[in-house]
Structure formats: C-alpha cells, structure tokens
Amino acid sequence: MKTNPVYKRECMVSARSFKLALVLLVFNGILALVALLNMYSALAQVRLTAEVQYTGFLDLYMFVASLEFLMLILIMPAMTAGSISGERERQTLDLMLTTCMTPADIVLGKLEAALGTPVSFALEGATGYRVGRMLEAGLPFIAPDKQVYLPFLGIALSSGRSHARDRRQTDVGAFSPQAQRLALMALYGDLDGASVTQAAGLLGAAKMTASRAFDELAAADPSIVAAEGRRRVLRPGRDKRAMWRRLEPRMSSPVAREHRLGRVPDAELPLGGLSALCGLSMLQDDPWPTLAATKAQERALELAADARDTALDEPEDPACVVQVLRYEPVPAPGCAVDPLSAILSLPADERDDPRVAGEIENVLTRVLGGDHEGNR
C-alpha cells in the first residue's frame, strides 16, 4: 500500500514541532483530570456506603472514551483546516495542487496526520532477523545500544555492529550432536589453539555449525573458548578429567534408537555400549553383542526394515542389538566406539550401579588420566 505523501511529510514535520507535544500534554491532562475527579467521586461513595461499586469504573471508562472521541471530533478538523490554511499562507498549496494528488488526497493526508500520532516499538534483546523484518516492513523501532529507526523523523542510526556477528553465549540444556562430538575430540586429542575453521574440518561440517558448537562449549565452560584477536580458539587445558566433570552434565546419550535384530548385519560394525566397555574393564557383556552404526549405515543396511520384520516375533535374546548414533563416532583404537561415547550410551540405571560406576571410573582414569583436582 502506497503511503500518502502529504501524510508522510506531515508526520515528519509535526513530530519535530513543539505544537504536537503541547497538544498531547493538554489532551492527556484533560483526560487525567476527568479520571481523577471520577475516582475521587467513587472513593467518596465508598466512605459513605462502605461498598465498592465496580460498575462505576466501567461507567468511568465509557465516559473517558466518549470524551476522548468527542475531543477528537472537535479538535482534529480544526487542526486540519489550520494546516491547509497554513499551506496557503506559505504559498505552497498551489505547488501541491500541481502534483498528481487530488484535493481529496491532500485533505485526507492532513486529516490522517492530525488523527495519528507516530509510535515506535522498543525492542529489548532484538535479534538480527527480527530487526531485518522490522526494517523491511518500515516499522519504527528503538533497539537499545544497537539501532534506532524512526522514519517519520528521518532518523536511522546504528551502533555499527552487525547483529549477525553479535555473538551471544547460548545457554543450552544439552549439547547438540556436533557440539558433543567436538567436546569429545577435545577430551581425547590435543585441540589446543584449534580455530572455528579447523574445527569445521575435523567435524566435516559447515563453518556455521562449528561456530555454533563453539558457542555451546563456551556456554558450558567459558574457559574452553578464548578470543584471540578476531578469532575464537579452543583452550581445553591439560586437566582433561576436570574438563570432563564440567562438560559431562551437558552431554546426553549418543544413541538415537536401538534395533534388536534376529540376525547379525552383514557389515563390519564397531562394538558399542556395554560391549565396547567390556574390552576396557572387568564388566561382563550381555549374551548378545551391542553394535554401533551411523544413520547412513542404518539406511544402507536397511536395519529399520529388519527390525520391523522381527518385531512381531522378536526373541528375548536377539542375535545382536544395533545402536544408531546421533553423530559419527570419534575414531578410537580397535573395532569399537570411543570409550566416552560408550559410557554415555549406558542407561542411567546401569551407570548408577556401584560395580558399573567403579569400572567407569577406572576407564575414565585410563582414558583421561588421574583426577588432579581430587588429589590436591
């Protein structure tokens, strides 16, 4: 919809004038005075009868609304007429009549400007997407410490920082799959000084995904991510056991789903879950092996179809259990998933078992080293 140019000009001129502020002050002052007088009358009635007549407040609202409407009817046409006569006095009315606008457009533009008072939105913690949509729609807004857009005043100010690059540490309840995988890589290997670009290469993901993983790690433990100039790098430190304690509450099971199959898939799948931990501890494995597969392997081997075929007569003791992982397992020696992912894949009730918990501590000591904080 095309904006009436007279309305647009009048809004810009009137918003900067002292006249508008004075009119608003008088208008709101009269309404406030009427409301206070009615409130005083209602309180006086309460003192006499000790009863609160709530219908009186509804009557007050109707009275104030009617008075406001009456004031608009009486004041606004007078202001519009004065504005048009002012154009004649400034000898600009003839110039306006030479344009493509009709006399009705001029009068309606003046009337709309008199009836409408420009307002703006106050955006607290506005995102770049939200600011962009407001700008596209031409809606006036004020984002504290970021941007001011008041088109009716001809004002467009910005702090100079791009909202897309204004990083905020995201407080997440649990790591995303890629953030958890990056955290495990930092626990296993020496990623000290790794940048976002290098992390993207290690994850085999886009740079934006790696940047979000950095945000999640920084939210969980600000000491892990450091800003060096315009880059962000990983600084995991040497005490990997302490790092595990700080990050483990944000980690979740890597298992997306399980398939209990009546046959072992014709593929070399690494051991996962309890079967993977048995090679590193004194734990006893289940009668059936637990294997791990990625989502791509699940589709290639049609594991979901095999599970549906055996769902009706699924044996209590399957030939194997295949765990489909949310992320690509971190490379580990031997034909098994990495030990930390295997620990995280255990159900909570199994991890709470005293014997299993003791063996998990032994595995953590072998993989991550001694508990330096506990030894101090």
What is the pLDDT averaged over residues 123-152? 75
Residue type, 127: T
pLDDT of residue 182: 92
pLDDT higher than threshold 50 for residue 161: no
Domain end: 84, 99, 117, which one?
117
**In a domain? residue 167:** no
Question: What gap in Å lies between CA 66 and CA 76, rounded to an integer?
Answer: 15
pLDDT of residue 171: 47
Residue 134 and residue 111 in one domain: no
The dihedrals phi and psi of 190, each to the nearest 5 degrees, come to -95, 90
Residue 272 and residue 365 in one domain: yes
pLDDT higher than threshold 60 for residue 193: yes
Residue 128 and residue 186 in one domain: no
**In a domain? residue 68:** yes
Residue 52 and residue 101 in one domain: yes
- Secondary structure of residue 37 in the 3-state scheme: helix
Residue 227 and residue 189 in one domain: yes
148 C-beta neighbours (distance < 10 Å), count:
16
Residue 351 and residue 278 in one domain: yes
For residue 234, what is the domain's CATH number? 1.10.10
Residue 136 and residue 107 in one domain: no
The dihedrals phi and psi of 294, each to the nearest 5 degrees, come to -85, 170
Q: Which residue has the higher pLDDT, 222 or 11?
A: 222
Residue 77 and residue 156 in one domain: no
Name the strand (E) or helix (H) holding 320.
strand 320-325
Highest mean pLDDT range out of 55-59, 63-67, 302-306, 348-352?
348-352
pLDDT of residue 214: 92
Domain end: 224, 249, 274, which one?
249
pLDDT higher than threshold 60 for residue 166: no
What is the pLDDT averaged over residues 11-40? 75
**In a domain? residue 169:** no
pLDDT of residue 163: 41
pLDDT of residue 196: 92
The proportion of the chain whose per-residue pLDDT surpasses 90, expressed as a percent, equals 7
Which domain, by its residues, includes 70?
5-117
Each residue of 230-259: pLDDT tens digit? 889 998 888 888 899 889 888 999 998 888
pLDDT of residue 188: 87
Domain end: 91, 117, 143, which one?
117
**In a domain? residue 171:** no
Each residue of 63-121: pLDDT tens digit? 777 877 777 777 666 666 667 777 777 777 777 777 777 878 877 777 777 666 667 78
Question: What gap in Å lies between CA 9 and CA 96, rounded to an integer?
Answer: 12
**In a domain? residue 352:** yes
Residue 99 and residue 76 in one domain: yes
Residue 56 and residue 154 in one domain: no
- The total domain count for the chain is 4
Question: What gap in Å lies between CA 214 and CA 233, rounded to an integer?
Answer: 9
Residue 276 DSSP label:
H
Residue 67 and residue 144 in one domain: no
**In a domain? residue 361:** yes
pLDDT higher than threshold 60 for residue 339: yes
Q: Which residue has the higher pLDDT, 368 or 314?
A: 368
What own/partner pairs with CB < 8 Å and gap ≥ 24 does 351-354 have?
Answer: none
Full-prediction pTM beyond 0.85?
no
Name the strand (E) or helix (H) holding 231.
strand 231-234
Closest by CA to 191, choosing from 147, 127, 234, 130, is 234
Residue 212 and residue 126 in one domain: no
**In a domain? residue 310:** yes
**In this structure, are residues 290 and 274 in contact, taking their beta carbons and an 8 Å threshold?**
yes
**In a domain? residue 9:** yes
